Amino acid sequence: MREERQSDENLVLKAKRGDTDAFNLLVERHYKRIYSLAFQMLGNAEDAADATQETFVKAFEQLRYFRGDASFSTWLHRIAINTCKDMMRRNRSVQFSQLTPEDEHTEFDPATLTEPNPDEILAERERTELVWLALGKLSDEAKQILVLCDMQGFSYAEVAAILNLPEGTVKSRLHRARNAFKEAWKSLMREQIEPLKRPKGGDEK
Amino acid sequence: MNCKEVIERLPEYWSGELDETVKNELTAHLKGCLTCQQEWALLQSAMNALRNAKTPEPPPELLVRIQAEVKARQRLKPVFVWRWQWATAAAVATFVLLCLSLPLLQRAREKAQMPISPMVAERAVPALPAPALELPPTVAPSKPQIPSIATLPTPKERLEKPRRKVLAERPGSERISEAPETGLRTTGPSEPSTSKDLPLLSIPSGEYREEAGENIAPEISVPAEKIAPQIAQLPSEPRKVPFIAELELSEWLRVQKPELKMGELPATPSPESPTGIPSVAGAPRARRSEGIESQYPAMGRHAVPPMQMGGGQAQMFAALPLNLRWKGYETVVVGKVRLWQLSLVSETPQVITIAVQPGERVEVLNAQMLLGEGKGLVLWRDKLPAFKEATIPLLLRVTEPGARRLKVTVEMADGRTFSWWCVFAAVEREEPVRIRKPISFQVEQWTTLDLLSNLAWESKSAFLVPETVANRVISIPMRTMSIYEALTLLERQLGGKWLRLGNTFSWSTPVPAFAVPAIKQ
């Protein structure tokens, strides 16, 4: 379309005036990104699609409150994050094994991983599966920050704007989240690798 | 540094955010500590996996789904109510204002007759409305003229003139243009009393106010002929509501090459096809069951055209004049917007209307205009550009589970009408399809449509049949049979064939046998 080159701000102005086409252009521009964010947060395609839809519907309905303090994309991501969190809260009926807080990291089992590089063992697809599983074990807070920083690739400043937090908080939460993710990853690796090791004779264990 | 500290700082180490000294310390520790090495390796592998994890592409229909939902919301927005409310508010305000300011008006007129240059008036007026909001009576003399008819921005005008200074400019004056737009022309002067929270509508205000100022000034002091041209300039055409189906169809329409189109026409089975009992299908001698119409009173009958799909003798050389096929179909989940795509292949593209009749509890979101009682909603109405195949998007939302039906009617320029029934099942949640499921019959006679409704529900599949076939009565043995058996039974009795694509079935009718030799020669 010809209008493709218009800036988001322009389109937002038009959309605010009731121009649905302008809003649709915005949807077209951003829905893939929002979908990927939702997928990363929710871990499955159906919920991600629903969350994406809900995000845009909310954005459409609240557009008039959008004052342009942040960019439209930031604002949209904020809505998306909140939508996903709502959805997770709704979906969370049973499982949520909160990960052990950092201070419990001390006990290590050196025998856990004897293979030098567990990556080689797992095919890429399996690894991706594991990523979703590991993310699923994190708290919402940790998950959102990991998704935004490490998967979506936003800068600290952008994440701070999206989450409405000071940058320092974002950093410290991110470090904690990365450690938590590593722990989740470790326990999953253990589950994955143990069965592979056993036939060989249990190694050091 | 002990292990605990090291491990805590590993993420920063990984992202390279540590000071040089801490970093060196940490590196040194890592060299000598197997445990921490392992943690470090783990962190690296975890972060690499996280960063490289691929997110799947969104489902192809998601965009359309979102846009449809947005449009549906747009329609739900009580625009009319809003305006009506504003109009009322404006009317009341005007009345109050007039009462208060009648004596003042009198004086104002006297003042107005005094020589005021247009320039002065022009400048003076824009400045006034802001205070006017709070203090109507004192400013009354100049204020009542503000929103003259001439200032009414038509929607088109709105689009053409991006507001320039709205945000920067006098926020207090923002809501001026709204009331006039509601059509309350006689009560123009009232708007200042309207309250503050105009959503959406309030945006294009600053500019209008200015215009208002420009236009009003002459009214005060200049003879009327000066106003006239200004009024004339304003586009006065009625508001054109963007027609959803129009937008979508134009996006979806694909003009295809003839050879592609022929590939799309596998529907016409050769006369020697096993089930091809010629001449049955196209004939407009369909008997109608009483059942359907009493069951679905909302779906009025369409006039049976002289020639139905695939049957007309005049069309025998042109294969099928029109052919409707499934292109994409998704199981309809209750409460969710789902996209269906039907492909309409036409030899002679003089289609003028494509309409749907939604059945009970089926909403077709991309259809808007009402065609008249019992005639359904227009998806498209115009002369379509020359096309061989048009994709008709149907955006559906169903409110309750069950077998549902829709009728798609295509009207040609020469007055012929072709209709198809779309029969499908709306389910609570995405369920696996089991087409081989057994189905049992307690009746001996049924119309095709009723049978299909049952089959659709049992198998969660969708069916598309031309109306002529849909209303034929068929006989069924009273017993349990598989869904395939039931479908075969239909093929035998109706002389056509099911084309299956996933869990959707389209009915194709054979061309009458005598037409084929003519084509060959």
Of B4, B8, B52, B55, which to mutate for an interface test with A (greatest number of A Cβ within 10 Å)? B55
Closest CA to B62 of A19, A59, A36, A87: A36
Give residue-wise pLDDT tens across range B259-269: 323 323 333 33
- Residue B342: φ, ψ to 5°: -110, 140
- A108 or B351, greater pLDDT: B351
Compare all CA atoms of chain B with the CA of A15 and give the residue at the minimum distance: B200
Radius of gyration of chain A (CA): 20
Residues of chain A with C-beta less than 8 angstroms from the C-beta of B163: 13
- Cβ(B65)–Cβ(A168) under 8 Å? no
- B188 or A188, greater pLDDT: A188
The whole-number pLDDT of residue B319 equals 39
Give residue-wise pLDDT tens across range A165-181: 999 999 999 999 999 99
Q: Does B50 touch chain A (CB under 8 A)?
A: yes
Residue A123, Cβ neighbours under 10 Å: how many? 10
Most confident of B130-139, B216-225, B335-344, B365-374: B335-344
**Side-chain half-sphere of B149: how many Cα atoms within 13 Å?**
12
- B88 or A75, greater pLDDT: A75
Give residue-wise pLDDT tens across range B461-516: 889 998 888 888 888 888 888 888 888 888 888 888 888 777 788 888 765 433 33
Token pair belonging to B159: 């689009």
Q: Does A145 touch chain B (CB under 8 A)?
A: no
- Cβ(A137)–Cβ(A97) under 8 Å? yes
Span of A80-89, B214-223, B475-484 with lowest mean pLDDT: B214-223
Q: Does A16 touch chain B (CB under 8 A)?
A: yes
Residue percentage of chain A with pLDDT more than 70:
74
Question: Residue B70 and residue A60: Cα distance in Å, rounded?
Answer: 7
Question: Residue B510 and residue B280: Cα distance in Å, rounded?
Answer: 9
Enter the ipTM. 0.78
Give residue-wise pLDDT tens across range B15-59: 888 888 988 888 888 888 888 888 888 888 889 888 888 888 888
Give residue-wise pLDDT tens across range B292-348: 222 222 222 222 233 333 333 333 333 345 778 877 677 788 888 888 788 877 665
Looking at chain B, how many residues does it have? Answer: 521
The whole-number pLDDT of residue B111 equals 60
> A120 pLDDT band (50/70/90 cuts)?
low
Q: Using CB atoms, which residue from A40, A119, A175 is nearest to B11?
A: A175
Question: Residue B383 and residue B269: Cα distance in Å, rounded?
Answer: 30
Question: Does residue B190 have a pLDDT over 50?
Answer: no
Alpha helices in B333-420 (DSSP H): none
- Cβ(B141)–Cβ(B108) under 8 Å? yes
- Cβ(B419)–Cβ(B467) under 8 Å? yes
Which whole number is the average pLDDT over A91-103? Answer: 38
Closest CA to B36 of A53, A31, A113: A113
Report field, pTM of the whole predicted structure over 0.80: no
Compare all CA atoms of chain A with the CA of B199 and give the residue at the minimum distance: A64
Q: Which residues of B348-378 are buried (b: 16+ CB within 10 A; e: fewer)?
A: ebebebbbbbbbeebebbbbbeebeeebbbb
The whole-number pLDDT of residue B252 equals 36
The whole-number pLDDT of residue A181 equals 92
- Cβ(B169)–Cβ(B206) under 8 Å? yes
Give residue-wise pLDDT tens across range B94-138: 777 777 777 666 676 666 555 444 443 343 333 333 333 333 333
- Cβ(A20)–Cβ(B71) under 8 Å? yes
**Side-chain half-sphere of A26: how many Cα atoms within 13 Å?**
28
> B93 pLDDT band (50/70/90 cuts)?
confident
Q: Does B228 touch chain A (CB under 8 A)?
A: no
Which whole number is the average pLDDT over B225-234? Answer: 38
CA B70 to chain A, closest CA, distance in angstroms equals 6
Q: Does A108 touch chain B (CB under 8 A)?
A: yes
Closest CA to B149 of B100, B219, B241: B219
* Numbers of helices and strands, H then E, in chain A: 9, 0
Name the pairing type of β-strands B389-398 and B445-447: unpaired
Most confident of A125-139, A142-156, A185-199: A142-156
